[in-house]
Structure 1
Amino acid sequence: MGEILSVGADVSEVEAGKKVLFSDINAYEVDLGTDEKHCFCRESDLLAVVE
Structure 2
Amino acid sequence: MKNHAVENNTCQDDTFFYIVGYTSGGAPYGVTWEEMGLEPWQALEEEQ
TM-score, length of structure 2 as denominator length:
0.25
Instruction: State the structure with bigger RCO (CA 8 A, min sep 6), 1 or 2.
Output: 1
TM-score, length of structure 1 as denominator length:
0.24
Higher strand share: 1
